[in-house]
Amino acid sequence: MIKSFFSFLKDQWSTITLYALTALFLFWTIWLRNLSLGIFFDILWPLTYLLFIMLAFQAFTWHRKQKALKKMLAEDDLEFIPDFQNLSSLEHSYTELLEQVVSQKSRQKEKNRLQTADLKDYYALWAHQIKVPLSVLDLMNQTGTVDQKQTKEQLFLVNQYMEMLLSFIRLQDFNQDMNLKEISARSLVMKTLKNYKVWFIQKELTLSVSESDFTFVSDSKWLTFVLEQIIYNAIKYTKTGGLTIDCTSDQKIIIQDTGIGIDPADLPQVFHKGYTGFNGRVQDNASGLGLYLVKSVLDKLGHQVKIESTVGVGTTVTIDCRQKQMR
């Protein structure tokens, strides 16, 4: 109580100082004119009463504000600012500043909530995807029919899915993990294709890479991840024929396959997280994560991607490496 009283007086120092200066000036004036001190007290008493009335009103207002502020401080999660009455212009400015902070905090809280939900959804989809090669390895182990070639393929898939998970985690802090430099498009394509040589041989698919090339500025690690997802999808959904890859003069990487194609109804949604479409339901081992991550990465790098497809004919994926606005 005493501490609050002195805190109040400290806040009212300007009013008390003005009263003291007025009394001092009044006393000095009367002393210069050789007037009676009775006149000084006759004038001082009304001023004193006025001071006490003002202080009483200020004390009531101050107490209400302090009570509301203590209530706010006691809350663990402040979501809104009470509507204070009789605020000074300075207090009003502080209140607006506090409202901005609370609003910013609320937006960040909602962003964190969405990111957490996003991570949970992703982990659920990823777990569904990785259980396929793990189940195959477990079955081979239980039946004692371990095939070295098939084991190598399934381990390759496990490693790819692990890279997909790590890429998704790094994507949350993309700017810290980005390294822009000049890249040769054809060299990047050829380097990525080496990892899939065994798949082309196993499925007896052809591969044609044009001699054309171009250079551009981007992040080679992230683009390698993008190409891996697109090339793997092309191989997975192609039974006969093969892949054709071209690095055009207008800075586009075009990957074309002769696979089963994509239903026209699925095309507008292939980049949505978790969307597998008809092909994914038939294959029963798609999670809808690959193309979602492809689009997310290319958007952040400032590149565009387009998919065109005809059922029974094949699919063409075009990556425009000309840099647009980075996100």
Long-range CB contacts (within 8 A, 24+) of 72-76: none
Taken in order of first residue, the domains within the chain and their CATH numbers are 2-105 (no CATH), 173-320 (3.30.565.10)
Task: Give the residue ranges of DSSP H helices in the chain.
Answer: 2-11, 13-32, 37-74, 89-143, 148-171, 185-193, 197-203, 220-236, 277-283, 290-301
Amino acid, res. 279: N
Taking only the tens place, the pLDDT of each residue in 35-69 is: 787 887 888 888 888 878 887 777 777 777 777 77
pLDDT of res. 48? 83
Q: How far apart are the first and last CA of the chain?
A: 55
| Band of residue 99 on the pLDDT scale cut at 50, 70, 90 | confident
What span, in angstroms and rounded, lies between the C-alpha atoms of 125 and 162?
Answer: 13
pLDDT of res. 281? 41
| Band of residue 87 on the pLDDT scale cut at 50, 70, 90 | low
pLDDT of res. 284? 47
> Residue 102 is encoded by which pair of tokens?
């609370």
> Residue 231 is encoded by which pair of tokens?
């090339």
Taking only the tens place, the pLDDT of each residue in 251-290 is: 999 999 999 999 888 888 888 876 665 444 445 455 567 8
Res. 70: pLDDT tops 90: no
pLDDT of res. 254? 97
* Residue-level length of the chain: 327
Q: How distant, in Å, are the alpha carbons of 15, 144, 207, 270 from that of 241?
A: 91, 34, 9, 23
